[in-house]
Amino acid sequence: MNVTAFNRILTVAFFAVLFILPLVNSDSYIRHISIIAIMYAVLVSSWNVTLGYGGVFNFGHMAFFAIGAYATGVMTKTFDVSPWWGMPIGVVAAVIASVIVCLPVLRLKGIYVILVTFAFTQLCLQIVLNQRDLTGGNFGLVSIPPLEIGAFSFRDFQNAGYYYLALLLLVVTLLAMLWFRRSHFGRSVIAFRDNETYAISRGLPLAKVRLMTFMFSAVFPGAVGSVYAQYVRSASPDMFGFSFLTLALSMLLLGGVGTIWGPIAGAFVFTIISELLTPLGPGRYLVTATLIVLVLRFFPGGLAGIPEFAGQLLKGRSGAAGDPAMLKDEK
C-alpha cells in the first residue's frame, strides 16, 4: 500500500469517526469538548496559511476570530439581523480586518510583522473594552441569538446542530487547505517564504499575494468565530487575550507548522491535554507554557515531525526531527 492511499484511508476514517461519534455518544461534556476541538482545528489550520506556508508571523489571527464573533453578535443581537446572516457577516468582518492589518505588514519583515499584528490585536481589545454600549465591554456580549430552523434549534440533542456545523467547517477547511497546497496561489505563497528575492525576480507580485494570503486565511476564523458566538451565545474580550493566543500557538507548534495534518492533530491532542489538566486550575497554563518551550527546544517538528523522526531513528541517522519550514531564517 502506498503512502497516498494510506493517507486517504486515514482521512476518511478520521472523519467517519467524527461523524458517527454523536450518534453513539450523547454525553454533553464530550460533545462540548469535541465541538471546541473541531473549532480549534479550523482556527489553527487556517493560521497555518500565514504562519506556516506564508512564513509571515501574523499574530493577529485570533483577532480575526474574535472580530467574527463580535460582528455576528452585534449585528444579530443589537441590529436584529437574522442569525443565518451571522456567518457571512463574521467572514466579511474578519476579511476586512485582515486587509487593515495587512496594509502595514506589506512593507515590513520578520519580527516587525509580529509586533504590528500583536499591537493590532491589543488595540482591537481596547476598542471592544471602550465601546461598552455596543460590545458589553469587560463583561462581554451575552445572549447572542442561536441558529434555528423552524422549531429545531441547533442546541437540541446536546448541540448536535452546532457539532455538525463545526464538522462541516472543518471539512471545508481541510479541502481548502488541500486545494491551497496544489494551487498556483498556494505555491506562490510558499515561494515567497522560501526565497523572496527569487520569487519576485520570477515576476510574482509580493503585495498582491501577501494581501490575498491574509484575506484567504481570515475567512476561516471569521466563520468559526461566528458559529462559536452562536454556540456559546456570547463573545468575550478574552478572545483577544494572551492566553488564547498562546494556547492556539502551542497547538500549531505541537502539531507541526507548514503541514496539513499537524495543526489538526495539534488541536485535538492539545484540547484533550488541556481538559485533562483542568483540575490544576491556573497551574495548567504553567504546563502549557513549559510545553511550548520544550517543543521548540527539543522537537521543532512537532507531531508532524514524528514520522520523519522515527524514520531517521530506524535508519540510524542522528539529529532531531526536521526543521519545520517556518523556522527557517527569514532574510
Joined together, the cell numbers standing for residue 75 give 449585528
* Contact status: 130 vs other proteins (CB under 8 A): yes
Q: Which stretch binds other proteins (CB under 8 A): 82-90, 127-135, 149-157, 208-216?
A: 127-135
Of the two residues 281 and 316, which places its CB atom closer to other proteins in the complex? Answer: 281
Measured between alpha carbons, how far is 232 from 145 in angstroms, rounded to an integer? 10
Q: Which of 8, 202, 208, 328 binds other proteins (CB under 8 A)?
A: 328
Q: In this chain, which of 20, 111, 168, 276 binds other proteins, going by CB under 8 A? A: 111
Which position among 11, 234, 246, 312 is part of the footprint of other proteins (CB under 8 A)?
246
Q: Which position among 10, 20, 127, 313 is part of the footprint of other proteins (CB under 8 A)?
A: 127
Give dist(CA 331, CA 328) in Å, integer.
Answer: 9
Please report whether residue 269 would count as binding other proteins according to CB under 8 A.
no
Contact string 281-320 vs other proteins (x = CB under 8 A): xxx-xx-xxx-xx--xx-----------------------
- Selected binder of other proteins within 10, 99, 103, 206 (CB under 8 A): 103
Of the ranges 16-24, 113-121, 178-186, 198-206, which one interacts with other proteins (CB under 8 A)? 113-121
Site map 19..58 versus other proteins, x via CB under 8 A? --------------------------------------x-
Using CB under 8 A as the binding rule, the residues of this chain from 56 to 95 that contact other proteins are: 57
Residue closer to other proteins (CB basis): 7 or 126: 126
Site for other proteins in 183-242 (CB under 8 A): 242
Q: Which residue ranges make up the site for other proteins (CB under 8 A)? A: 57, 103-104, 107-108, 110-112, 114-116, 118-120, 122-123, 126-127, 130-131, 242-243, 245-246, 249-250, 253, 281-283, 285-286, 288-290, 292-293, 296-297, 327-330
